[in-house]
A and B are shown apart, each in its own frame.
Chain A
């Protein structure tokens, strides 16, 4: 068995105010997988995500990325390996131009000059935003900003891309464009989402987090059609959507 890209073992965490968010989470994600992380509000999804690159630490259990444990000494390399795309692109894009924003991550890794420019343009190319390199982020549409936010992380050439609600606030066309982009990327993906059709479309595997623990882990189709599991964890399919009658796009990646 190869080393998993993401290896979370027995992770527990309580916030300083005493509220315990995670109760022993185990999660393994292997290279090339696309995994959806599902769960109701307050299940601990964001807390888990913030552990993946060492923003939160100090609870019990361990997190390792491609065999490298998340510890203070490794933080710089961990943050290169784990690319988190946050929900609000306005939080992620803070520089004066798209190009500078995408350069921010790799420059922090010590890249300079032509190599930096190459990385920036390659990342923007992968999300179809190369023509917007010199625009200020706040003049882009929301969908374009979300794509640039993905590029800012891709430019660091991460081993796993973690997306927090990637489809939120997108119009259907932007949502589909982002799906096409995510499918075209040759990178391991962990996607936190409430958008169950999106999870079914993009992620062969789903993990359900509820009450700070993993309560289900399996093929997305099986999870979404397990009515009892869904009901027990406040997960609901949107009106008119039934995985049993949905014709899936041919699986890729």
Chain B
């Protein structure tokens, strides 16, 4: 299927991990995350095993570690929260590098950090080895409600359209001497985001119009999704 085209999370390749059916990968990811979450936080060795397994899968997939590391930034808010925990939690205290921190907080921070990192890394691996459309097809096969799959499909399709629309609005703001990053111009930024919302809403109506014009009756025909699969 499709050649390498730049979805920001997808890393093009032909490894066994890339080729595995999407629904299998989704189930494996779900199982892995549930296992990680259910593992008691004092079983430090188990976490090491999880990490080794995950890194092994990534190695087989031949996705560069650096590629995933850069995308790990989504975890930053959780990291900040985890780092704060030893300082704000109560209970018996202990010394780490000369700083007094809460013992329970330290343990909670470790659990949050370990489980979060493993979960994010595993999800990124799925995203890097599976095309967004394949993820959708996988969800479909796993009997995810049709409506939700359709909504996610539209999201993937129009993410780029809306993002580039926003980019053009930002450019035009900058061209008129407004710097969207500066707090002084946040009111203008908020108004343009509101305009973006209205525009997207109107686009939704036009898309629906175009669908109805081609005989849409509220259900996406099964044949549309499977077309070309036999070919």
A167 within 8 Å of B by Cβ?
Answer: no
Question: Contact between A86 and B2 (Cβ–Cβ < 8 Å)?
Answer: no
The smallest C-beta distance from A86 to any residue of chain B, in angstroms, reads 5
Question: Contact between A108 and B228 (Cβ–Cβ < 8 Å)?
Answer: no
Residues in B with CB closer than 8 Å to A138 are: 157, 160-161
Question: Contact between A99 and B215 (Cβ–Cβ < 8 Å)?
Answer: no
Question: Contact between B228 and A99 (Cβ–Cβ < 8 Å)?
Answer: yes
Which of A11-19, A109-117, A173-181, A187-195 sits within the interface? Answer: A109-117
* CB nearest neighbor in A for B159: A138
- Docked CA distance A112–B225 (Å): 11
Which of A129-137, A235-243, A244-252 sits within the interface? Answer: A129-137
Q: A79-B213, A116-B223, A117-B227 are in contact. Are A91 and B153 (CB under 8 A)?
A: no
The smallest C-beta distance from B112 to any residue of chain A, in angstroms, reads 36
Question: Contact between A94 and B211 (Cβ–Cβ < 8 Å)?
Answer: yes
* CB nearest neighbor in A for B209: A55
A206 within 8 Å of B by Cβ?
Answer: no
| Interface members, chain A 111-152 (any B CB < 8 Å) | 111-113, 116-117, 120, 133-139, 152
User: Which of A82, A90, A117 is packed against the most chain B CB atoms within 10 Å?
Assistant: A90
Question: Contact between A139 and B5 (Cβ–Cβ < 8 Å)?
Answer: yes
Q: Determine the interface band of chain B, counting residues with CB < 8 A from chain A.
A: 35 or more
The smallest C-beta distance from A16 to any residue of chain B, in angstroms, reads 15
Question: Contact between B203 and A90 (Cβ–Cβ < 8 Å)?
Answer: yes
Q: A79-B213, A134-B1, A138-B160 are in contact. Are A96 and B136 (CB under 8 A)?
A: yes
- Docked CA distance A133–B228 (Å): 9
The number of residue pairs between A and B whose CB atoms lie closer than 8 Å in the complex comes to 110
Which listed residue, A83, A108, A120, touches B216 by the CB 8 Å rule? A108
Question: Contact between B228 and A107 (Cβ–Cβ < 8 Å)?
Answer: no
* CB nearest neighbor in B for A93: B157
A95 within 8 Å of B by Cβ?
Answer: yes
The smallest C-beta distance from A45 to any residue of chain B, in angstroms, reads 15
Q: A55-B212, A84-B213, A91-B206 are in contact. Are A136 and B5 (CB under 8 A)?
A: yes
A105 within 8 Å of B by Cβ?
Answer: yes
The smallest C-beta distance from A194 to any residue of chain B, in angstroms, reads 19
Residues in B with CB closer than 8 Å to A113 are: 223, 230
Question: Contact between A99 and B227 (Cβ–Cβ < 8 Å)?
Answer: yes
- Docked CA distance A111–B227 (Å): 11
Q: A95-B157, A135-B2, A153-B214 are in contact. Are A104 and B224 (CB under 8 A)?
A: yes
Residues in A with CB closer than 8 Å to B153 are: 95-96
B45 within 8 Å of A by Cβ?
Answer: no
Residues in B with CB closer than 8 Å to A88 are: 206
Residues in B with CB closer than 8 Å to A79 are: 212-215
- Docked CA distance A226–B164 (Å): 43
Question: Contact between B227 and A156 (Cβ–Cβ < 8 Å)?
Answer: no
B186 within 8 Å of A by Cβ?
Answer: no
Q: A96-B153, A136-B5, A156-B214 are in contact. Are A107 and B227 (CB under 8 A)?
A: yes
B217 within 8 Å of A by Cβ?
Answer: yes
- Docked CA distance A83–B210 (Å): 10
* CB nearest neighbor in B for A134: B2
A71 within 8 Å of B by Cβ?
Answer: no
- Docked CA distance A120–B220 (Å): 16
Which listed residue, A91, A96, A104, A117, touches B231 by the CB 8 Å rule? A117
Residues in A with CB closer than 8 Å to B215 are: 76, 79-80, 105, 108-109, 156
* CB nearest neighbor in A for B164: A138
The smallest C-beta distance from B137 to any residue of chain A, in angstroms, reads 9
- Docked CA distance A91–B230 (Å): 28
Residues in A with CB closer than 8 Å to B160 are: 138
- Docked CA distance A104–B215 (Å): 9
* CB nearest neighbor in A for B216: A108
Residues in A with CB closer than 8 Å to B227 are: 99-100, 103, 107, 116-117, 120
The 7 A-B pairs with the shortest beta carbon distances in the complex, nearest first, are A108-B215, A107-B221, A105-B214, A96-B133, A91-B206, A103-B227, A107-B223
A-B pairs with beta carbons under 8 Å apart, 14 shown: A83-B213, A83-B214, A86-B210, A91-B209, A94-B158, A94-B207, A100-B228, A103-B227, A104-B211, A107-B227, A117-B228, A117-B230, A134-B228, A138-B160
